Amino acid sequence: MMTSHLICGVDEAGRGPLAGAVFAAAVILDPANPIEGLADSKKLSEKKRDALAIEIKSKALAWAIASSSVEEIDEINILQASLLAMKRSIEALSLVPNEVLIDGLHCPKLSLPMRAIVQGDSKEACISASSILAKTARDANLYDLDKLYPAYGFAKHKGYPTPLHLQMLEEHGVLTIHRKSYAPVNKILNLKKGK
């Protein structure tokens, strides 16, 4: 029996926020079991994303979700941390893909045939699927953080630098889950130090 050409899509979620880990997902879709409605996760409602995430997990030939921590983001920068999360998600797959399609401009360091595709999450179904899994995993993580730190409003802003989040940072201070290398967080830390 001939094995089919396994194409894996990879995307990340959470490069812009001031708090929390950056997540990545890798998905190998089953061509014989298509999923309707796949699109860039940012263009879908949360309800639609959640429904599609369940479908992707049940129909895909393989999928994996990984992350890079706040400490890693601060140490190696957000681009490198995103690539590291992508690498981890690909390595965690139960199948080895023949080709990897990455959303964006950069590819992680792996000895697999890879292509970076700008706006790939709206061009390739497998990247759309990975963007949905990465986004839903990150959102779930932010809901958990919201329970731990209810004063900060993480369920509302998901860690992004909204006026509410910046106000909460100024009022309540910087948490261990905040990215210290990001300018708005760094500025508050320096103000607190009296610099």
Angle 24-125-7 from CA coordinates, rounded to 5°: 75
C-alpha 67: how far from its chain's center?
7
For the chain, which residues make up each domain, given as ranges? 7-138
Tens digits of residue pLDDT in 81-115: 999 999 999 999 999 999 999 999 999 999 999 99
As annotated, the binding site for a divalent metal cation includes: 11-12, 103
Tens digits of residue pLDDT in 50-82: 999 999 999 999 999 999 999 999 999 999 999
Domain 7-138 sits in which CATH superfamily? Ribonuclease H-like superfamily/Ribonuclease H (3.30.420.10)
- Indicate the SS3 state at residue 11: strand
- pTM listed for this prediction: 0.95
Tell me the two tokens of residue 36: 């309707």
Tens digits of residue pLDDT in 106-144: 999 999 999 999 999 999 999 999 999 999 999 999 999
Q: Cβ–Cβ contacts within 10 Å for residue 58, how many?
A: 10
Task: Residue 79: name the closest of 15, 146, 32, 161 by CA.
Answer: 15
Contacts of 62 (CB under 8 A, 6+ apart): 6, 8, 26, 27, 28, 93, 94, 95
As annotated, the binding site includes: 11-12, 103
Per-residue model confidence (pLDDT) at position 40: 86
